[in-house]
Structure 1
Amino acid sequence: MKRNEVPVVANAPAEIEWGSDIPAAMLRHVGIDYVALNPGASYRGLHDSLVNYLGNEAPKMLLCLHEDHVVSIAHGYAKATDRAMGAVLHSNVGLMHGLMGIFNAYCDRMPMMIVGATGPVASDLRRPWIDWIHTAKDQGALLRDYIKWDDEPRSPEALVEAFLRGSQLTHTEPRAPVYICLDAGLQEQKLEKPVELPRERYASAPPPSADSASIERLADLLMSAKAPLLLFGRGSRRQDDWDRRVRLAELVNAQVMTSIRERAVFPTDHSLHAVTPSNWVTPKGKEIVRGADLIVSLDWVDLNGFFQQVMRKTDRIEATIAHVSLDSHIHRGWSMDYFGLAPVDLPILANADRVVAQLLEFLEARSEAKAATKGTAEPKPIPDYTGRPGEEIAPRDVEIALAKLREDYPLTLAHVTIGWAGDVFAFRGPLDFLGHDGGAGLAAGPGLTVGAALALQDQDRIVVSVLGDGDFMQGCSALWTAAHYDIPALFIVSNNRSNFNDELHQEAVAKIRRRPVENRWIGQRIDDPVVDLAAIARAQGVAAEGPVSDHAGMEAAILRGIKHVQSGKPYFIDVHVAAGYASTPLSRGE
């Protein structure tokens, strides 16, 4: 963040004096660099401590205009770093605004330190009316089913332990947000005795490895398989983990599949990467699954759903199936994000990247290891654009334009639309693509982009997001935070002027009921009047252009946007595209 803000008046006390100084100090102690927030009186004590005790540094505050963005920015930051950021939510009402984003981050298994507030818990300290409606006996009940842990500390010492435990748990796999609710009365309490910060001895546990018997069995299966298939799902942003995944696939000569819902985990232009990463299994992908004699899932999300697209009775899959994941440790009863129960012959409760490292060590040490025909990672040529000037832009054309430019500019895709083709813009490194929003909740895309750009602003990366118009309009005020703090990111809206995914659902229902499919647009289209999206961006201080509706104009606009982002500022482009998807979503009932 490069904007020269009004400096903090320097008068920071040397010692912790007030209750709220403790959580502020603990956020710094556990390594939180940023906290996003939308102000609220329930944590006015914490706000003061962040500014007047810590000097608004480590952590530094990011002001947001909506609690949705508080959470989605922290979510995007975690997607780029695998580390938690702070998200501060005001009492009941601010928390309820942020709940959808918290669900997204939970489904995405991303770490996050969420700090809320209630009260004062002591009723004699409450102001009439407002403090009463913003006090809850068990505020954590609002989100306990889709976080990892929560607490309401009631003493200075309990505050210290809450932040230590919260940081431990959110960074321990399987990761997920944690929530700490602060008593407004305790925040504003003058401390009666000194409070010491803990020593550096409360680190999170490293990701667990597999037992030796499981590694040996899995290695034997890989070495004897004639048609192995590796399904790479969740994975870290570490380059060495990326390199080991590639090495394993090459060593055992296995075909590889990845999902567009997850972050980039394997080079998609590698010869062993079998099919385009997509939301749904392609016909070629189904053939590969049917022909495999060994399928190894490395933290693949919704493994049974993947198999159901090949055959409905998934226990009839002929291949031996191994599944490496820690995700069952976080499965509960409220949310069905544990998905269908997959037929697994070799379950391994371990971190997928650790298992890859263990397998490599084991396989490379075996003298009888079979010689593998190594794959290559030579980039595939970019398809020639065959359209003619004046033709309507298709959603896939946005991907083609970015693929042409990425040879000269290091691009990170923070978010893409549901209908992303995925067959042109290859993922060649762990920061090329940061995945989906986790829980499929609209309004997340803009905030995720800001959070990713915040995390990567000191790296040689240009963060780009391709958003749907519905997603943008619900989350558009996240752009103000990008403008205010000079967070550089390129926002491209693939604007079909419709809630088009739901048009397809209405068409599916009409077909089943033999009713007119021509009516699918009613209650879906956003074109009378057409919303001036660029004006919304400019109104928040972001340079913008559009609507762009021709191919040459789009490519020129994207290049201008990239150069503007290189100068350290955000940029916005509204691209009018034809209604349709390059990759059609799966409709219920098909």
Structure 2
Amino acid sequence: MPTKTMTGATVADAYLQLLADRGVDYFFANAGTDFAPIIESFAKAQALDTPVPEPVTVPHENTAVHMAMGYYFMTGRPQAVMVHVNVGTANGLNGLLNAKRGQIPVFFTAGRTPTNEEASLPGHRSLDIHWTQEMFDQGGMVREAVKWDYELRNGEQVETVVDRGLTIAMSEPRGPVYLSLPREVLSHPMASYSYTSPTRQKPATAARPDADAVDEIASLLAKARNPLILTGSGGRTAAAWHALSDLAERYALPVIQHRFRILSLATHHPMNMGYGQDGWVSDADVILVVDTAAPYVPAQHRLRDDCKVIHIGPDPLHSYVPIRGIPADIALTCGTAEGLEAIGDALESHAVAARDQIEARRKALAERQRKLHAGWDARLEDARNQPVIHPAWLSHCISEAKNEDAVVIQEAKLLTSHMRFDHPQTLWNPGAASGLGHGLGAALGVKLAAPDRQVIGVHGDGAYMFGNPVSAHYVAAEQNLPHLSIILNNGRWQAVRGATVGQNRDGYAARSNRQPLTFLDAIDGYEKVVEAAGGYGEKVTDPTDLPRAIDRALKVVEIEKRQAVLNVICSTG
């Protein structure tokens, strides 16, 4: 077995070199006193030109975790995050929840407060905080939000622990892992240390779809008169995007992407039937759910008695959800792309007898899509002429200004019906657990991974505050990551208001002009924050000036290579 050996090293030295050897490019960190051996090792590596991940100073854990998520989204390679003991772990939990629900692998680590009071041990307790930050079970805070957690016990197991964490994170369904790193262990000296390179530990391959189940699914779809595909995350990979596109087009299967987390089908694909479920779910006789935990809300949609519901994906029953009663007549465990491709191949023979029915459905769906688009066009025309910027007009203007391959991070209610996206992995909402504050960090991670791509983040005013903008703008300045952030500023928590009124349609809140706990209008000068980091900020209130404002901001990003923020004062739509 090929090995590499280092001499005169500490456990921290071995740990960082192993991360680099295993393909970890970046080390996103918010440091504390537990980082002393890590910082010493980074300084040593810089002086000796030793390969280690690139350290990135990130002043808030929410930014750090979502940067790692964004980098993975563009590269398919998990990155390392390190935070400060228990308090940093707590601050990073929001990002971990998003990563777990979004199946994004992150190698999330935290220092561990020293436990030894004896001065003879390197890394021993040396500050009063080392007593008050100690916990009985630090990992217990995140155990439900990660796939695996462990604490490094000694230097001899560094290779085993690193490989274990990375392979579990990258095995389907993918997700974050947690490793705590005691300061005494990291500080421990080793005369020599050898490790296998390249590693002999590989992630588990995705499950191959069961042939009998695939054949049954193909038979049901071929016989269906009103089949329907529902997905919110089916396009996690380019391969899955293309497989879904091919399956839907070949067999005239309409696709609805309601409250999607990642766009899974081109906006103008002939089988893209929009983003609302009314008139679709209740009429379907076969529903194919692609990698989505909540394809519809049972309280809002009643299925036909004869409707068959099929779920496919790495975890088709979404076992991480404690209670879930959505019907699953067939649950096919598989890689998403592999499952869609297998169903498409199996349909070839089953669809022969149904060819006329499929072509008749194709024509009917084309007419239905034409009427859908006509309605969207009328809504956009109305929005264009309103005195306050409407979200539909903002969505359209962003679409008109962006590059064809731009990556848009969505943390506000963009109206995809007024936008055009033709390529996979170009529209993403990283908040799979609805942990707000994800957009700013994710945009930075995407830009770090793809510096030549145009990156645009769209955030609600509340989400922008959750995103720790000073931290995010600092990282963008330090790492030279010019991108555009657009704040959809309606001065309120619109989702909270909607939920309240939806539950109490004739209640006091519905009749109130100012519902408690929903307004965010005490300040509106968010564009000033980026100026502290040398960026460009502008407030936009006039709908007619919006296209020019977006062009001005993109020119700053692309020509001047500075980050920019547009604070767009919008109606609630």
Same fold (TM > 0.5): yes
Other-structure match for 2:222:
223
The amino acid across from 1:162 in the alignment is V
The amino acid across from 1:320 in the alignment is K
Other-structure match for 2:408:
413
In structure 2, relative to structure 1, the CA distance for the partners of 1:58 and 1:195 (3 Å cut) is closer
Other-structure match for 1:503:
497
Shift of 1:294: 1.1
RMSD (CA atoms): 2.8
Other-structure match for 2:319:
331
In structure 2, relative to structure 1, the CA distance for the partners of 1:486 and 1:385 (3 Å cut) is farther
In structure 2, relative to structure 1, the CA distance for the partners of 1:175 and 1:369 (3 Å cut) is farther
What SS does the aligned partner of 2:512 have? helix
Once structures 1 and 2 are overlaid, which stretch shifts more, 512-521 or 343-352?
512-521
Once structures 1 and 2 are overlaid, which stretch shifts more, 461-470 or 556-565?
556-565
Matches within 5 A, 1:428-439: 428-439=422-433
What SS does the aligned partner of 2:263 have? coil
In structure 2, relative to structure 1, the CA distance for the partners of 1:74 and 1:472 (3 Å cut) is same
Deviations 1:532-585 (A, max 9, x none): 211111112222212x1002322111112222322443211111112x14xxxx
User: Unaligned 5+ residue runs, structure 1?
Assistant: 1-12, 582-590
Other-structure match for 2:114:
120
Q: For the residues of structure 1 that align with 2:420 and 2:29, how far apart are their CA atoms?
A: 35
The amino acid across from 2:146 in the alignment is I
Matches within 5 A, 1:80-91: 80-91=74-85
Does 1:294 find its partner at 2:286? yes
Q: How many residues get paired?
A: 547
Shift of 1:506: 4.7
Does 1:557 find its partner at 2:549? yes
Q: For the residues of structure 2 that align with 1:563 and 1:385, how far apart are their CA atoms?
A: 27
What SS does the aligned partner of 1:423 have? helix
Q: For the residues of structure 1 that align with 2:532 and 2:224, how far apart are their CA atoms?
A: 59
Q: For the residues of structure 2 that align with 1:151 and 1:167, how far apart are their CA atoms?
A: 12
Deviations 1:463-486 (A, max 9, x none): 111111111123212121112111
- Kept in 1: contact 2:405–2:423 (CA 8 A): no
Question: 2:309 aligned to 306, 321, 324, which one?
Answer: 321
Q: For the residues of structure 2 that align with 1:295 and 1:79, how far apart are their CA atoms?
A: 28
Q: For the residues of structure 2 that align with 1:299 and 1:388, how far apart are their CA atoms?
A: 36
The amino acid across from 1:532 in the alignment is G
Question: 2:97 aligned to 97, 103, 119, which one?
Answer: 103
Shift of 1:259: 3.4
Other-structure match for 1:242:
241
Does 1:487 find its partner at 2:471? no
Q: For the residues of structure 2 that align with 1:516 and 1:172, how far apart are their CA atoms?
A: 47
In structure 2, relative to structure 1, the CA distance for the partners of 1:197 and 1:45 (3 Å cut) is farther
- Kept in 2: contact 1:37–1:62 (CA 8 A): yes
Other-structure match for 1:69:
63
Q: For the residues of structure 2 that align with 1:171 and 1:145, how far apart are their CA atoms?
A: 17
What SS does the aligned partner of 1:17 have? strand
Other-structure match for 1:9:
none
Q: For the residues of structure 1 that align with 2:490 and 2:426, how far apart are their CA atoms?
A: 25
Q: For the residues of structure 1 that align with 2:9 and 2:255, how far apart are their CA atoms?
A: 57
Q: For the residues of structure 1 that align with 2:352 and 2:491, how far apart are their CA atoms?
A: 59
- Kept in 2: contact 1:82–1:237 (CA 8 A): no
In structure 2, relative to structure 1, the CA distance for the partners of 1:365 and 1:347 (3 Å cut) is same
Shift of 1:177: 0.6
Other-structure match for 1:32:
24
Does 1:391 find its partner at 2:380? no
Deviations 1:77-96 (A, max 9, x none): 23334431211111111111
Q: For the residues of structure 2 that align with 1:230 and 1:525, how far apart are their CA atoms?
A: 37
- Kept in 1: contact 2:290–2:313 (CA 8 A): yes
Q: For the residues of structure 1 that align with 2:227 and 2:384, how far apart are their CA atoms?
A: 43
Question: 2:326 aligned to 321, 339, 342, which one?
Answer: 342
In structure 2, relative to structure 1, the CA distance for the partners of 1:503 and 1:347 (3 Å cut) is closer
Shift of 1:523: 4.0
- Kept in 2: contact 1:82–1:236 (CA 8 A): no
Other-structure match for 1:252:
251
Q: For the residues of structure 2 that align with 1:390 and 1:306, how far apart are their CA atoms?
A: 33
Identical columns (%): 23
Other-structure match for 1:402:
398
Q: For the residues of structure 2 that align with 1:255 and 1:113, how far apart are their CA atoms?
A: 38
What SS does the aligned partner of 1:471 have? helix
In structure 2, relative to structure 1, the CA distance for the partners of 1:237 and 1:295 (3 Å cut) is closer
The amino acid across from 1:33 in the alignment is D
Once structures 1 and 2 are overlaid, which stretch shifts more, 165-174 or 254-263?
254-263
Shift of 1:340: 2.2
Q: For the residues of structure 2 that align with 1:411 and 1:534, how far apart are their CA atoms?
A: 22
User: Unaligned 5+ residue runs, structure 2?
Assistant: 119-123
Q: For the residues of structure 1 that align with 2:8 and 2:300, how far apart are their CA atoms?
A: 58
In structure 2, relative to structure 1, the CA distance for the partners of 1:188 and 1:499 (3 Å cut) is same
Q: For the residues of structure 1 that align with 2:517 and 2:210, how far apart are their CA atoms?
A: 55
Does 1:273 find its partner at 2:272? yes
The amino acid across from 2:524 in the alignment is V
- Kept in 1: contact 2:384–2:390 (CA 8 A): no
What SS does the aligned partner of 1:448 have? helix
Other-structure match for 2:340:
356
Does 1:42 find its partner at 2:30? no
The amino acid across from 1:140 in the alignment is G
Shift of 1:14: 6.0
In structure 2, relative to structure 1, the CA distance for the partners of 1:103 and 1:16 (3 Å cut) is farther
Once structures 1 and 2 are overlaid, which stretch shifts more, 361-370 or 493-502?
361-370
Does 1:536 find its partner at 2:535? no
Q: For the residues of structure 1 that align with 2:225 and 2:391, how far apart are their CA atoms?
A: 39
The amino acid across from 2:393 in the alignment is D
- Kept in 2: contact 1:151–1:180 (CA 8 A): yes
The amino acid across from 1:426 in the alignment is R
What SS does the aligned partner of 1:488 have? coil
Other-structure match for 2:466:
474
Other-structure match for 1:10:
none
Question: TM-score normalised to the size of structure 1?
Answer: 0.85
Q: For the residues of structure 1 that align with 2:65 and 2:8, how far apart are their CA atoms?
A: 28
Q: For the residues of structure 2 that align with 1:308 and 1:364, how far apart are their CA atoms?
A: 36
- Kept in 1: contact 2:34–2:112 (CA 8 A): yes
- Kept in 1: contact 2:16–2:52 (CA 8 A): no
Other-structure match for 1:309:
300
Deviations 1:217-246 (A, max 9, x none): 111122222221122332355434322211
What SS does the aligned partner of 2:279 have? helix
